Structure 1
Amino acid sequence: MNNIQRFSLGILLSGLLSLSFHPAVDRAGAAEAWIRINQLGYQPRSVKVAVWVTRNGDRLPSGFEIVEKQSGKVVYTTEKISAFGAYGPFKKACRLDFSEFNTPGRYFIRAGGAESPELIIGRDVYAGAADFALRYMRQQRSGYNPYLKDSCHTQDGYTMYGPMPDSTHIDVSGGWHDASDYLQYATTSANATYHLLAAYRDFPEVFADHYLANGLEGGNGRADVLDEADWGLQWLLKMHPRKDWLFNQIADDRDHKGLRLPTKDDVDYGKGRERPVYFANGKPQGLGKYQSRATGTASVAGKFSSAFALGSRLYKGIDKKYARKLEQKSLSAYTFGLKKPGVQQTAPNRAPYFYEEDNWTDDMELAAAELYQGSGSKKYLLQAAGYADKEPVSPWMGADTARHYQWYPFHNFGHYELAKTQHAELSEKAKQHYREGLEKVWEKAKQNAFYRGVPFIWCSNNLTTSFAIQAFLYHKLSGNAEYEELAQANFDWLFGCNPWGTSMVYGLPAWGDTPQDPHSALTHLHQYPLDGGLVDGPVYGSIYRNLIGITLYQPDEYAEFQSPLVVYHDDFGDYSTNEPTMDGTASLIYLLAAYQSRINP
């Protein structure tokens, strides 16, 4: 079978049939209204809402109908519509709620003279999606790359800012490239590793075994998601080789020299094929014109510690020796963070762009909570609770904007770990922290038809994914369904229920409108697909207009849906909205596994 056939074969074959999409048309022949849906589909018992939008019309639909695709028969009619005003490029919009229609099948929606793309309802609409997104993670591997069946960056690297002499060689090959460039960050990689481990912990039944540990095809008796998580763990171990050594980053923006495959990377940092490896020293760093504003090491050390701690717990029944090693590394990384509270931002060089993380107590909260889960020591529980009190809500929630990765991770798993404990007071407080964050976003979201309350900052899709995870976990912990429609709206946004009517995940679904021209050398030079990669997502028009070096190479197929508020371009030249990210995709894998797991009869 080829790659596409492996993803949900039954759904795919029928989905590749003709796509129904008939926007309303005015007398001049210009489209007047559209219906946006989740192209991936809806589960029968889930919240199910489409969004009708118009640029020019004044009249809102009074009702809508669902039509069976094969027979053309109307199978459902309703007046369950919520009207909204202008948003982005649209003059009016409304939400079309068909949650009570539960019959599996293939349909389309008619409303206000417009028809939707093909609407799919089924128990297994998300089956295989999480595994599909794992393809992108394997493609991002540094060291041995199974997609290219070749190796890259095997000579990394030489140290900078460490207690050892600068330019000391250290073996840190492996891990993942961060995005379409070839930089590697411990911050995003540790967070990605944690998400993959958590996905395996929480939804093991979702994942298949079709690949070896090295990423080549062939089962090895272990879920592919655990193999991928272990690829991350093995690299993190190299980046924390001694209890008093912890490295934060490989390479810098000198990488941005031109298009080439990772296996053909010829950027010279001054030592041949070696690249600089930045030590986490808790101080501002940058070997060129620009520097970070680092204040400590806790942000990155906490991420190491939590990934190691969860890995240790998961490997206890698989490899006890390895589990003990991970446990020891978790403790030493946590201690490394305790010594220097504060943030270890990434290091820029020639350009002013870097990961401007300004919070760290969330990272130490998760690390302490994981250490408590593994040891039962009340010391770690109390420390986790103390950190939680310092940042009850991730600061981007409810905000209109933020700097690049200013509040990261975008979702705090530490609250979830505290909420799972048997300590009733701490558990209830953690749930309330989650609820407070959801409510802050809801206050903004309820004002528009897409229920959009996530700010359109760089990597807005990563925030959207993280928000949906938080809402899922809150519902799981509390049983409170108050935010389920909001959560589903964020999930649906990623797969087409957005102003542009496009999925934000390369190739998912195979029959839908998905990114075709991402910012990547693999696609631009060689037409290699980036299956499963979550692109950055829409940004405020004000951000887009002020970024350096953006040029659109093709006519904008979404031109009529752009607005001063927000833009998205499926164009190689727009690195701000159409570049896939490794850590965003890892979060998406958790979310897709979560949604697949909630199958109802």
Structure 2
Amino acid sequence: MNFLKFAFFCFAASVFAGPLLINQLGFNPESEKFALVPGSDANDAEIRDMDGKTILKIKAPLVYDWNYSGEEVQTYDFSSIKTPGVYRLYRGGEYLGNPIIIDNHAYENLTKAALKWFYFQRVSAPVDYQYGGKWMRASGHPDDKVIVYGTDESTKKGYEEATGKKAPKELKVISSPKGWYDAGDYGKYIVNSGITVFTLLELYENFSSYMDTLSWNIPREYKNYPAILEEVRYNLDWMLSVQDNDGGVYHKVTTLAFGGPVMPEKDGAPRYAILKSLTATLDFAATMAQASVVYKKFDKAYAEKCLKASELAYAWAKKNPKALYKQPSDVETGNYTHSGEDAKDEFRWASAELYRATKKANYLKELKENPFTNNGAWWGDVNMLAVFRVALDEAFPKDVKDAAKKVMMNEANNLRAVGDSSGYHLPAFDWSWNWGSNSAMANNAMVLLHAYLLTKDKSYVDGAQQVLDYLIGKNPMEISYVTGFGFRSPRKPHHRPSQCDLVDDPVPGMLVGGPHLGKQDINLDGKDAWKCPNYASSEKPALAYLDDECSYATNEVAINWNAPLAYVAGALQAIYQGISPSVKK
């Protein structure tokens, strides 16, 4: 693009006439391309290039209500424009909003940044200037001397209350370095690592020919690995360190309470490996089984190590089917549990991954005895991860595959129907508007993309495109929810390094949690001065967002939110480039 021409055009063009809600990064030539205009004053429009030449005329669209924001909106479809370039949408001779960009590689830098953020989250290592630039930082949390919770005098009472067992007599310390900081805080959690690692490895498995060639600026220890597998191994190594000799896996490595807003090297409170749990152990088993398949091509010894750890963990889970995590009274960090938890979904996922990795009959038997549900994916329900695995892998018998395909396609078709009838064309259910709503949207897009991998029906790609459009600008807040990307993006995420590093710009590539009406961080009674003002007074979930460090409910970041962002952006880029998916149906 000729920048001087663009700048002159901005100043010389007609008066700006209002918002245009669009994907702020741009569109691939082959993608579905929608722009939204709030309001009911439907008028004809036209798309002009930067020389002012009319490229497309669009008739006045229908007006739709969107309940999640309380708006009337109208959609302009310019999918027929396939020539890369920069354009404007005009109505009545005046242009709306920001420029429209069409680019063959619109999502490649986004994919790289979403993946590189995991490097910025590395524990026990510095972010060096040559890799992190102005976001460099010192190493934090060596975690080479982590106390096993309940074995020191200060936590024995809490251990006994939580487990109903007598605390061990001797102090136990383990070495548990590496891994990723889970979110805006400095904890490391197995449950959340499980779905995160799955999603990143799934991106590699589904699009290996694309990911084999994609690289970004991170330190390389295993130079025969693709970059994504280098990064994922950094977390897998930590996960392996929290498996006990009996196969059980500690739920998390954290301090007893959340630390304050300081850089990681300043957070010096004792770190604990806190309680072995059923869900953590099964998530570990599933992840390690998947890793054993993926890494076998590059590192046979490491793959075998992962598989051995996986089978040992699964055996522990079978022996301890009631060992659900209970948060001790003296522990305040994230508990990663939910009401109604029974671990059936974790058993389902682990047995599916282990059967693929080993072909052992007992895992298939247990998978068949634990039928798929219709539940979508989040850390608290990993049923859909098992569905993805079985539906798209030739290792499974036809009857089990058919059951998985039915669940997946039913969910995908429901999502597409919602998107087609939605004012914002967003494939979202009512339950999608919860803590981490942006992640729920991205996980919905993953369902649609898996349906595409199964059927090659481009309508599912279109649905995923609408999700990505929403995340990076086509939303009522007129913001890209990814730091550093788009015309407007979050400036004050709830992320300790970004809050404390004295750099004006937040670490780039982070997907913030997004709007919802949970109000967990709002100062409703006026007594909690450190909480946020009531930004959700409208009672519309799509408007309940605040770009402020206080808003941990809407503006925090998390590894399990960035992973599906990376999957969706990377998958769409690969598909539009015509790169064949790597699935064995």
With structure 2 as the length reference, what TM-score do the two structures score? 0.82
Match of 1:244 in 2: 247
Question: In the TM superposition, what whole-angstrom CA distance separates every residue of 1:113-150 from its partner, at most 9, and x where no partner exists?
Answer: 65131211122111232221222111111112334242
Paired amino acid for 1:158:
I
Find 1:194's aligned residue among 198, 210, 230: 198
In the alignment, does 2:547 pair up with 1:578?
no
Secondary structure of 1:108's counterpart equals strand
1:434 aligns to what SS in structure 2?
A: helix
Unaligned ranges ≥5, structure 1? 1-10, 26-30, 268-273, 282-296, 397-404
Structure 1 distance, partners of 2:147, 2:333, is 23
In 2, Cα distance between equivalents of 1:572 and 1:224? 31
State the one-letter code of the partner of 2:565. Answer: L
> In 2, Cα distance between the equivalents of 1:14 and 1:236?
51
Partner in structure 2 of residue 277 of structure 1: 273
Q: How many residues align?
A: 537
Residue 323 to residue 164, structure 1, CA distance change in 2 (3 Å): farther
Contact 1:347/1:354 (8 A) holds in 2: yes
Task: Tell me the distance in 2 between the aligned counterparts of 1:382 and 1:22.
Answer: 70
For 1:413, give the aligned amino acid. Answer: L
- The equivalent of 1:287 in structure 2 is none
> Which position in structure 1 is the counterpart of 2:28?
43
Q: Which amino acid aligns with 1:361?
A: K
Q: Secondary structure at the match of 2:26?
A: coil
Whether contact under 8 Å (2:188, 2:254) holds in the other structure is yes
Cα shift readout 1:272-316 (whole Å, capped 9, x = no counterpart): xx31211224xxxxxxxxxxxxxxx1x322211121112112222
* Residue 232 of structure 1 pairs with residue 229 of structure 2: no
Show the counterpart of 1:184: 188
The amino acid of 1:408's aligned partner reads D
| C-alpha RMSD over aligned residues | 3.5
Q: Would the alpha carbon gap of residues 44 and 443 (structure 1) be closer, same or farther in structure 2, given more than 3 Å must change?
A: closer
Deviation at 1:189, TM superposition (A): 1.4
- For the residues of structure 1 that align with 2:314 and 2:9, how far apart are their CA atoms? 52
In 1, distance between residues paired with 2:12 and 2:481? 21
Paired residue secondary structure (2:47): strand
Residue 254 of structure 1 aligns to a residue whose secondary structure is coil
1:575-595 Cα deviation digits (max 9, x unpaired): 111111122112222222211
| Aligned counterparts, 1:47-86, within 5 A | 47-54=32-39, 58-61=40-43, 63-69=44-50, 71-79=51-59, 81-85=61-65
Q: How does 1:117-266 map to 2 (within 5 A)?
A: 117-146=98-127, 147-160=136-149, 161=159, 164-165=168-169, 167-204=171-208, 205-206=210-211, 207-211=213-217, 215-216=218-219, 220-252=223-255, 254-256=257-259, 258-266=260-268
Corresponding residue to 1:383 among 366, 375, 385: 366
CA distance in 2, matches of 1:178, 1:101: 41
TM-aligned CA deviation for residue 496 of structure 1: 0.6
Gap runs ≥5 in structure 2: 128-135, 150-158, 579-585
What residue identity is the alignment partner of 1:414? A
Give yes or no for contact 1:504–1:514 (8 Å, CA) kept in 2: yes
**TM-score after normalising by structure 1:** 0.80
By how many angstroms is 1:80 displaced? 7.2
Listed one character per residue, the Cα deviations across residues 165-210 of structure 1 (whole Å, up to 9, x for unaligned) are 4742111122111111111111111222222222222223235345
SS at match of 2:174: coil
Opposite residue 130 of structure 1, the aligned amino acid is T
Contact 2:139–2:264, Cα closer than 8 Å, also in 1: no
1:523 CA drift (Å):
2.2
1:369-380 superposed matches below 5 A = 369-380=352-363
Quote the sequence identity (%): 23
Comparing 415-424 and 447-456, the one that deviates more: 447-456
Distance 1:228 1:165, change over 3 A: farther
Change over 3 Å in CA distance of 1:318–1:245 after alignment to 2: same
Preserved contact between residue 20 and residue 115 of structure 1 (Cα < 8 Å): no
Residue 527 of structure 1, CA deviation: 3.7
Distance in 2 between the 1:537 and 1:224 partners? 28
The list of structure 1 runs, each at least 4 consecutive aligned residues, that deviate by more than 6 angstroms after superposition, is 11-25, 546-549
Give the Cα separation in 1 of the matches to 2:393 and 2:96: 48
Cα gap change, 1:104 to 1:44, in 2 (>3 Å):
same
What aligned pairs does 1:427-506 form with structure 2 within 5 A after superposition? 427-441=401-415, 445=419, 448-452=422-426, 453-454=428-429, 455-506=432-483
Letter in 2 for 1:420: L
Name 1:289's counterpart in structure 2. Answer: none
